[in-house]
């Protein structure tokens, strides 16, 4: 695709997705996320030509001017929109599809110090909220949404919405996903929740097995009735100061 046609396509995609964008000139001059994507295409070409140091230097220039750190080795699709841009990090082996939207603070990072594919694969049409972390060699399916502040450590099915730390699915194919088993939470407190749930079930069984009186509050009801009768008796002799 010709260079200027690609630039025009990127600008149009920003106008379609950002209601704050009012003109092509504004997008061209005031959107550092777009600059970062364009500079990465240059650094990626240098990386593929095995000019590794030069590619890294170009990426550092982009980081200085835009606040976005995209490794030259990352593979970016068409019409990637990084809104507000500041603090975005995309690792070396990350792969980003077409029509992806990211907000500030997003990290497509790795886990550990292994070599090979160690960064996420983000498929077409994915939306990633601000300060979300997508970590490891995982795949985020097409048209999925990652909530702000989420930490994604496992694959996300297509057409899903995930939130939380660590992230779990709340919508899939337009249907609400309800969590009924504490094992599905995948939270550091999951074991405590499971133990608490087991203890509650045990106590309910013990209470249910004990014989209960037919009227457990009969004695309290009798005492209240006797108290009311005594008050009524006294009211007949003491009224508005009479009898004092």
Domains and CATH numbers, the chain: 3-178 (2.160.10.10), 190-235 (no CATH)
| Residue 173 pLDDT > 80 | yes
What number is the average pLDDT over the span 43-66?
Answer: 94
What number is the average pLDDT over the span 91-120?
Answer: 91
The pLDDT tens digits for 112-165 are 777 889 999 999 999 999 999 999 999 999 999 999 999 999 999 999 999 988
Tally of CA atoms within 13 A in the half-sphere of 203 that contains its CB: 6
| Residue 47 pLDDT > 60 | yes
Residue 221 pLDDT: 81
Q: What percent of the chain has pLDDT over 70?
A: 88
- pLDDT, the chain, mean: 86
Q: What percent of the chain has pLDDT over 90?
A: 58
| Residue 32 pLDDT > 80 | yes
Rounded Cα distance, 141 and 139, in Å: 6
Rounded Cα distance, 195 and 10, in Å: 52
Specify the range with the lowest mean pLDDT, choosing from 14-28, 39-53, 177-191, 225-239: 177-191
Asked whether the whole model's pTM tops 0.75, one would answer: no
Residue 186 pLDDT: 65
Residue 204 pLDDT: 84
Residue 195 pLDDT: 80
Burial of residue 164 (CB within 10 Å: 0-12, 13-18, 19+) is middle
Tally of CA atoms within 13 A in the half-sphere of 35 that contains its CB: 21
């Amino acid at each position: 695709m010709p260079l200027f046609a690609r630039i025009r396509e990127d600008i149009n995609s920003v106008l379609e997705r950002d209601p704050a964008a009012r003109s092509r000139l504004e997008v061209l001059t005031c959107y550092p996320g777009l600059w970062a994507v364009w500079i990465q295409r240059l650094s990626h070409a240098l990386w593929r030509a095995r000019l590794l140091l030069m590619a890294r230097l170009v990426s550092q220039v982009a980081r200085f001017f835009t606040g976005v750190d995209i490794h030259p080795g990352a593979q970016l699709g068409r019409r990637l929109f990084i809104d507000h841009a500041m603090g975005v990090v995309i690792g070396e082996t990350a792969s980003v599809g077409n029509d992806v939207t990211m907000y500030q603070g997003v990290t497509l990072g790795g886990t550990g110090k292994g070599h090979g594919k160690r960064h996420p694969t983000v498929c077409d049409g994915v939306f990633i909220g601000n300060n979300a972390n997508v970590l490891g060699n995982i795949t985020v399916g097409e048209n999925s949404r990652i909530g702000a502040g989420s930490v994604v450590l496992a694959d996300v099915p297509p057409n899903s919405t995930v939130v939380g730390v660590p992230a779990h699915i709340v919508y899939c194919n337009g249907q609400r996903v309800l969590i009924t088993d504490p094992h599905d939470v995948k939270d550091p407190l999951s074991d405590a929740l499971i133990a608490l749930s087991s203890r509650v079930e045990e106590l309910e069984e013990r209470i249910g097995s004990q014989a209960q009186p037919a009227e457990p509050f009969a004695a309290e009801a009798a005492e209240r009735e006797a108290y009311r009768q005594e008050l009524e008796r006294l009211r007949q002799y003491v009224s508005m100061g009479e009898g004092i």
